[in-house]
Amino acid sequence: MNKVAVVGSTGYVGGELVRLLSQHPMVDVAVVTSNSYKGQAYEDVYPHFKKNIDLVCEDELKEDYDVIFLALPHSHSSKWVNRERLKNSKIIDLGADYRLSYDVYKNWYTVEHESKDLIDEAVYGLSEWQREKIKDASLIANPGCYVTASLLTLLPLLKENAVDKDNIIIDAKTGVTGAGRSLSLGTHYTEVNENVKAYNLYKHRHKPEIDEIILKLTDVETNVLFTPHLVPMNRGILATIYLDIKKGMTQEKVREVYEKYYSQEKFIRLLADGEYAQTRWVKGSNYCDISFQVNEDYNKLICVTAIDNILKGAAGQAVQNMNIAMGFKEELGLQMIPLFPV
């Protein structure tokens, strides 16, 4: 049995990692860490783990593990990861520290990167597009949640030159878990309930991640217009993406593009014409639902994509990456049907 560790186990994403890994047939959750809850039983922090997880939160790792998951805020992982640890463990970082090039990271996150020599060695863990590189990776940078929904939608279209690269508008909405578990006025019940708000216009840190990875995977340079919104629900992301299609592209041809890349993908579901993705049908799962509608008269395409932000957008994709990197079946531990009602 492969031993895994979850560093930062008491945030929402850390909790989902522990839940998924504790039911995985090929791994054993050997240790969970948390600075905030050091010395407390994990089942006391999250009572839904009673009779399932018999671990106490530690403040640090005292040995090496086959796989280490880092569910930490940005800048923390870059201080923790080093070549010595990478010799003995595969590390999957769910933060931002290894997703971007050094200059872009420093500019957008305004902190110094403590292990910048490892950035170029990290593999960007968009599972469906980086599978071959993930297989041999020791350091995997798990994508952001907004970015996962956006990239899975955009990459086939840009790769096949089906849309105009210079006019991409992403209107995305997330549940409150996307803000993490730490206390913040902006995520208090009375601040969020009965309200929808846009935030970080022109300066959200997932915007440069989208552009950089598109360029890396398609050789297409973009400057997407990305607007995130917070909506009063616990989990889920809905991304509505507006595009100008190339002349001659039809509903059928757009479907052919998506089928070319995703027809054999376990976790991507292409919806039927006239059916549009909803967050309720992916919650609690590792699925990404993609839907689209072409307007040939105006050469326009609207795509609507839904994921669970803390599963396919975080913990689920991290386990998917572990499965690929460890040579397991890719769907192991992730075969849950979405929860409904929730």
Catalytic amino acids? 145
CB count in 10 Å sphere of residue 54: 10
Residues in the chain: 342
| CA distance linking residue 11 with residue 179, whole number of Å | 10
Q: Answer for the pair 289, 271: CB distance below 8 angstroms, yes or no.
A: yes
Query: In the block, which residue shows the tokens 């997932």?
Result: 206
E strands along the chain, which residues? Answer: 2-7, 27-33, 67-70, 90-93, 123-124, 139-141, 163-174, 197-198, 225-230, 237-245, 268-270, 288-295, 300-307
Q: What's the DSSP call for residue 311? A: I
CA distance 198 to 177: 16
- The set of residues, in sequence order, having a beta carbon less than 8 Å from that of 335 and lying 6+ positions away, is none
Please tell me the distance from the alpha carbon of residue 86 to that of residue 97, in angstroms, as a whole number: 15
Rounded CA separation 100/96 (Å) = 7
Return the number of other C-beta atoms located less than 10 Å from residue 306's C-beta. 27
Residues 156, 261: contact at Cβ < 8 Å?
A: yes
Q: Using CA atoms, how far apart are residues 142 and 70, in angstroms rounded to an integer?
A: 10
**Neighbour tally for 98: CB within 10 Å:** 27
Burial 84-93 (b: 16+ CB within 10 A, else e): ebbeebbbbb
Number of H helices, E strands in the chain: 11, 13
